[in-house]
Structure 1
Amino acid sequence: MSEPAEPRRVVLVVGSGRSGTSTMAGTLRTLGLHVPQPEVAADATNPKGFGEPQWLVDTHDDLLKRSGVQVSDARPRAWLDAGKVSADHAVRERVSDWLADQLGQADELVLKDPRAAWFLGLWRAAAERNGATTSYVTMLRPVTEVVGSKQKYYDARQGGVTRTAAWINMMLGTERATRGEQRAFVRYADMLADWTVPVFALGESFDLHAVKTAMAVDIAAVHRFIDPSLRRVTLTWDDVQVPTALRELAEETWQALDGLAEPGGDTPEAHAVCDQLREAYGEMYDEAEAFAASSVLAARREGVRQGRAEAQQPSGGALDRVPHRVRAMVPPTARRTLRKALGRER
């Protein structure tokens, strides 16, 4: 492979959905970085646009289905499940080939999709294969605002507890996955207050030619693009009802991540705090999973009874209709017992 004329750079905008990732991606696009086309169309939840390549979203959706992971997944083991899919040779080839096509159109790309956090190793490998440097921008927004925004605009079947737990898992996992790489943490509030400060700092630290050479017309276009009124949900813990222990852990996680956005805040000491919080979350989740086992088994048995009443269909039935996130909470021995009861043991 011949060396490209200009340095190739891939900026991944990561972080929980509803954290300002679209604002960051749209800003970098307006300043000249390339967002692969076509993009996901704007809608009422994001009237300024998502800044997400449709191919990226479709591919990540496929990989999430294959791994049994949700976009916002509270399970610590979801990182392992997603990683197994990322290691698939055919997947790596497909992603690398697509990225090669995009880098053939522009030397500086911005890739944004909240689903991407589960597959950062996959994208890092694809970029390296194409002679590109990867950088990561993690957008930060208080967990209460993220949860409140998701409750307002997304599927209401997920409650505040699940969304809060998933935020902790996603954000701490993303911090760990980008550690040691070229990265930055940017507060959504700082983008709305004066986007030029964090974005031009990114241009210098990531050596982004488009940002460093932005013209006055480009800067004016970003000023028109960023609308502070779009921060339409501002909640506190008084508005989000979750168990005290989960609230305290979420608040500690927010404080630790917020500190990473401070100049000089991305330190080994800060990393150690994040490691401790991630371990504490894993222990909390294990305890909650153990408490819920009886309810999960009861729901599964009810599904089995309903399936038998409907029809004797060994190849499908009620067991398949139990959501993966529920099935994953049942011990393997119990799953085998239920499969035998349905005649599905192989």
Structure 2
Amino acid sequence: MTSRRVVFVVGSGRSGTSTMAGTLRTLGLHVPQPEVVADATNPKGFGEPRWVVDLHTELLARSNVQVSDGRPRAWLDTGTTSGDHATRERVTTWLEEQLEVGAELVIKDPRASWFLGLWRAAADRCDATSSYVTMLRPVTEVVGSKQTYYGQMGAGSDQGAITRTAAWINMMLHTERATRGQQRAFVRYGDLLDDWTQPVFALGEKFDLNGVKTAMAVDIAEVHRFIDPSLRRVTMTWADIGVPDRLRELADETWQALDQLATDDTAKTQEWCDQLRVAYSAQYAEAEAFAHSTVVAQRRTAAAAARREAAERRGGSGAERIPHAVRAMVPPAARQRLRKAIGRERRPDQGPA
């Protein structure tokens, strides 16, 4: 019986995950169909199963977590959501169906890192070996690419850059922790573009992927056509991205630790990642404390808006429920005194009642 294998391509979006998934697919691994359709942000395709993307989108919504979420506690929320029996059975059933189509699967979705425990358990139930490829790309290029292709966030470009930089740190450090102790590899996006044969064939040996190890010349030629060095269309530095010094320093050190994992996945480097994860959580908690007044104000504003909407759904004020023809019979002076009494006095720029 052919051994079953599931390769999960994980890491932050815009890190080369689509290029890796597309390469493995071209060499013979099966991407469950249908796939997400290519668009201007990724013209060569995403390599993402539509079912997987829809599932993750649903689970993130139930968890109140964003795809790029900077909150350390978001991992607890997604873990709770994906831990119910019905969800586990649902994923296991789908994965079993896909493994009947192809014994070696590649599953890629930037949202997948939030639910690796769910997928690992499903693969175990299907008697399949799980492997993880984490794509590495400098944080400035990732954030710059997201700014370019996904637009700005918040009040301005700096706010968007800060949010995305924090989310990158959170995503990458927790992905490292979630895959620790598993069959895994870290691949630099730059290495993939420079000479894809070296990292990809190394993966084939490390993960014992029959599709990669027995690739035909025609498949290799197809990958050469698929991978275009110009895919690295965004190359930004901190000079192009405005973030606070402390966050930039933490992001830089996180990149250094992850980059080292590509060639030195040892306990010492993993401990470095643990220290960075603790430092990030502390820095995020401090930022939350600074912003507490803003959060409280936003909650009050949202609560007031909800009360207004509830009043409108109940039919509005008593005056608004009185037919216009009847209200028109009330003298203007009396209407003005009545509005003033109930706190609904019209401004000078408003029209007549």
Q: Same fold judged by TM-score > 0.5?
A: yes
Aligned AA (2:228): D
Tell me the equivalent position of 2:269: 270
Distance 2:131 2:307 in 1: 53
Displacement of 1:309: 4.2
Distance 1:163 1:145 in 2: 11
Alignment root-mean-square deviation, CA: 1.3
Matched position secondary structure for 2:215: coil
Aligned AA (2:301): E
Displacement of 1:314: 9.7
Does 2:57 correspond to 1:58? no
Decide which of 54, 70, 76 is 2:72's aligned counterpart.
76
Displacement of 1:33: 0.1
TM-score by length of 2: 0.86
Distance 2:71 2:208 in 1: 36
Distance 1:313 1:6 in 2: 63
Does 2:254 correspond to 1:258? no
Aligned AA (1:253): T
Tell me the equivalent position of 2:281: 282
Tell me the equivalent position of 1:179: 180
Displacement of 1:312: 2.6
1:192-220 deviations in Å (ceiling 9; x for gaps): 00000000000000000000000100000
Decide which of 79, 83, 97 is 1:101's aligned counterpart.
97
Displacement of 1:154: 1.0
Tell me the equivalent position of 1:297: 296
Relative to structure 2, which stretch is displaced further, 303-312 or 217-226?
303-312
1:143-177 deviations in Å (ceiling 9; x for gaps): 00000000111142250000000000000000000
Tell me the equivalent position of 1:247: 248
Displacement of 1:301: 1.7
Aligned AA (1:19): S
1:179 to 1:303, Cα distance in 2 relative to 1, 3 A: same
Matched position secondary structure for 1:114: coil
Matched position secondary structure for 1:48: coil
Tell me the equivalent position of 1:144: 140
Does 2:122 correspond to 1:123? no
Distance 2:147 2:193 in 1: 22
Tell me the equivalent position of 1:188: 189
Map of 1:183-222 to 2, 5 A cutoff? 183-222=184-223
TM-score by length of 1: 0.87
Tell me the equivalent position of 1:88: 84
Distance 2:176 2:308 in 1: 48
Displacement of 1:77: 0.3
Decide which of 8, 21, 43 is 2:4's aligned counterpart.
8
Does 2:233 correspond to 1:237? no
Distance 1:275 1:194 in 2: 31
Tell me the equivalent position of 2:311: 312
Distance 1:194 1:64 in 2: 36
Tell me the equivalent position of 1:342: none
Displacement of 1:305: 3.1
Tell me the equivalent position of 2:347: none
Matched position secondary structure for 1:138: strand
Distance 1:83 1:313 in 2: 38
Tell me the equivalent position of 1:169: 170
The unaligned stretches of length 5 or more in structure 1 are 316-346
Relative to structure 2, which stretch is displaced further, 156-165 or 29-38?
156-165
Displacement of 1:300: 2.0
Displacement of 1:117: 0.3
Displacement of 1:296: 1.1
Matched position secondary structure for 2:287: helix
1:66-122 deviations in Å (ceiling 9; x for gaps): 111110000000110000012110000000000000000111000000000000010
Distance 1:21 1:282 in 2: 26
Displacement of 1:299: 1.9
Q: Percentage identity across aligned positions?
A: 72
Displacement of 1:230: 1.5
Aligned AA (2:56): H
Aligned residues: 309
1:123 to 1:312, Cα distance in 2 relative to 1, 3 A: same
